[in-house]
Amino acid sequence: MIRLLLRGRSGKREFSTTCSRGSYGKTIGNLRIGKDTRVIFQGFTGRQATANARESIEWGTNIVGGVTPGKNGEHLGRPVLPTVREAMEKLKPDATGIYVAAHQAPAAIEEAIEAEVPLIVAVAEHIPIHDIMRIHSMLKTQSKSRLVGANAPGIISAVGKCRIGFQPLPCFSPGRVGIVAKSGTLSYEAASSTTRAGLGQSLCISMGGDVLAGTNFVDALKVFEEDEDTEGIILIGEIGGVAELEAADWIAKYNQRSSNPKPITALIGGVNAAPGRVMGHAGAFTLPGEPDALTKIKRLEKAGATIVRHPEKFGGAMKTLLADYNPPRRNSTSGPLQRRGIHTMRSVRPSLVSHALEVNLNQRRPLYIKESLGLDLLRERGINASEYSGTGRRRMLAIGVDRASLSPCVIASPATDPLSPHVEAKVFPFDYRSGFDKKLVPEVARYLQLGDPYRVSLPKLINGLVDLYMKKEAFLLETLFVERLGDLKVVGANFGFDDAAFRSSKRQEDIHALRIIEEEDPQEVEAEKDGIVYLKFAGDGNIGTLVNGAGLAMNTVDALADAGGEAANFLDTGGKATSETVKKSFQVILQDERVKVIFVNIFGGLTLGDMIANGILLAFKGLEMRLPIVVRIRGTNEEEGQKIVSLDSLSLEL
C-alpha cells in the first residue's frame, strides 16, 4: 500500500521535521580502534564470551577485564566487576563488547551508554525493534558513546590486532583496505578475497543487518577517509532502507572535493529478492517506495564506485584500482589508530540483568495479521473501523519505522490509487520516548488534504494508532480511511508486529496468538522450527540453494541469475550452521518438486568448512538423495572441507 516519497521534486527526501543524529555524530571518531584500545566484555564469564575473549587475547586484543552482575573476582587473568560504571572507574576502557542474549542486550547497552563507554559493540541478533528505537532515542541526546550493531559481527582492526566481535580471524590480515558491510558473511568473503590478493585490511566495520543500525555506511566512510592505514574502501549493502543511497551521495561529494580520492568498490545483495519478504536479516526487506537493489547499484556506480557482483571479486578489483592510486605520504610522527582519552563519567544505576549468554538460533520475522483482526484492534480502541464499502476517497495514514531518522514516524498520503504513477507519502518522524508531537497534526492534516471538520477527528486516529503501535510493539500499522459524517472511518488495515519481542522476550503473547500458521507455507513453517530461514520463490526456478548467512544467501540467488540459472528458494541456515541444520535444510529443499539440482554455498567463519562438509555427506547418504549437488566451500578450513567432499565424488566447485 505505502509508497514512501524518497526523493521529491527537489531531489531531497521529504520530511515534515527532522530527528537528526545531532551530537551523536561527534562520536564517529570512537570507531578508530587499534592495538592500544582498552576493551571490556559485558557478560565476560559466559561460555561464548569466554571462548571469544580467549581467542581475541591470543590474537592481540587488549582486553582489560569484564563485567558480570553480582561478581567480583578474576577471569582469564583479568578482573571481573559487577557493573559497567565500576569497570569504567577502575579499568578505564575505550570499548565494550556486549555478549549477552537478545532479551538482555537492551539493558546492557543502556548501562554502557549511561556509563559513557566510548564504543559499544552489540552483536546479538533479534533485539526487539522497540528496544532499539528507545536506545537510539537515548543515543541522539549524548555525544560520548557510539554504537556498532546490533545484529552485527562487530568491528575489527587487522592493523591494530583489535577484535570486538566474532569475526573469523583466519580471514583477516593487516593491510590497506577498509570494509563496511551490512552482511557479516559477505564481509568475511571480502576480507578473504583481499587477503588472497595480498592487500589485507585496515579496519572492518559492521553496519549489521538490523532495521536500525547504530553506525551506518556514511559514518564508516568518514572514518576511512581520514584513516592513514586505509587506501581502498569496500562497501557491502543489500535491500532495505536508504543507507546505500546516502552513501552514494557522500561518495559523489567526496570524489568531487578530493584531488586524490581513495578507490571504492561495492556490492549490493538482493537484486532477485522475493518482493515483500524478509530476506533473512531483520532489515532486509523493501517497503513499497523504498529503492530496490538495482537502484542502489546504479546510484553507487554514478557516484564513482566500482561495482562487483560477487565478493570473491573484491580482491582483484581493489588490486587493480589501487595500482592507479597514489597514497599521500604518512606523517611519521603519528602511529596507527591511537587510543582515545577517557570521557568524564556520570552516575548510573547498577545493571539489573543477568549476563549469562544464551544462544538462540530461532530466526525472526515480522508477524502480519489478517485485516479483519486489525480492524478489530482499532474498534477495541474506540476508532471507527469497518471494511471498505466501495464509496469515499481513500487516504493512507500509518505508523512505521523511519530508517533515516532511527525513530518511529507517522506516514501520510492523500492518495492510495495503485494505478496512480505518483502516489506520494510524507514522513513525520517523532522521538520514541517523547511520543508524537501534537503540534504536527495541522501539517499532517494539510498534507492529507482534509477539510476543517475532519481535522478534529485526525488527532483521535493518530493517537489511537500511536498507542497501539507503542503498547503492542508494532512494526507497521498502515490504515486506509475515508471521511464520513464529520468522522474519519478506517476501511483498511495492514498491521505488522515485531516477532522478536515475542520470541526473545516473551512479550505481546496475545498479539502473536493471532498468527494463523495453517495459512502459511508448511515447508517454511517447518524450517522455522529448526532455526532456518526458508523462502520458496514463485516461478519455475529449479535450483535449490543452501547457504549459511542471509547476505551470502541473497548474493547466491543473484549469482545464479547472473549465470543464467534461477533459484527455487532462499535458504539461510544461520551463521552457526551445524551438520544437523544442514541435513534439515536438505529435507526442506527436497520437498520442492521443481528442484533438479542443489547448490550448497558455505563460507567458513564460525562455521568450520570441514564440519559442514561432513554434514553434507551425512545428509547426502542418510536422505538417499538422487539429485546432483554442487558444493562451494570457502573460509575457515576450506581446503579440508573441499577434500572431504571431493573424495566422496560430489560435484565440487574449487
Active site amino acids? 281
Widest distance between CA atoms in the chain: 78
Q: What dihedral do alpha carbons 247, 253, 254, 258 form, nearest 10°?
A: 170
Question: What does the alpha-carbon distance between residue 375 and residue 495 come to, in Å, rounded to a whole number?
Answer: 9
Hey, which bits of 107-208 come out as E strands?
Answer: 119-122, 146-148, 154-157, 162-165, 174-181, 201-206
Q: How many CB atoms lie within 10 A of CB 477?
A: 24
Kindly report the backbone phi and psi dihedral angles of residue 47, in degrees, each rounded to the nearest multiple of 5, phi listed first.
-60, -50
Mind giving me the DSSP string for 324-373? T--PPPP-TT--SSPPPPPPPP---PPP-S-------------EEPPHHH
Q: Which residue has the cell 549477552?
A: 100
Cβ pair 458, 383 in contact under 8 A? no
Q: Are 424 and 9 within 8 A, CB to CB?
A: no
Q: H helices within 439-485, ranges in order? A: 441-448, 452-455, 458-471
Scanning 496-605, the segments in alpha helix (DSSP H) are 499-503, 509-512, 522-529, 550-562, 579-590
Axis crossing angle, helix 609-622 with helix 638-647, rounded to the nearest 10: 20
CA–CA separation, 156 and 158 (whole Å): 6
Phi, psi of 467 (to 5 degrees): -60, -45
Q: In the 8-state DSSP scheme, what is residue 385?
A: B
Distance, in Å, from the CA atom of 621 to the CA atom of 640, rounded to the nearest integer, reads 20
The Cα 640–Cα 607 span in angstroms is: 13
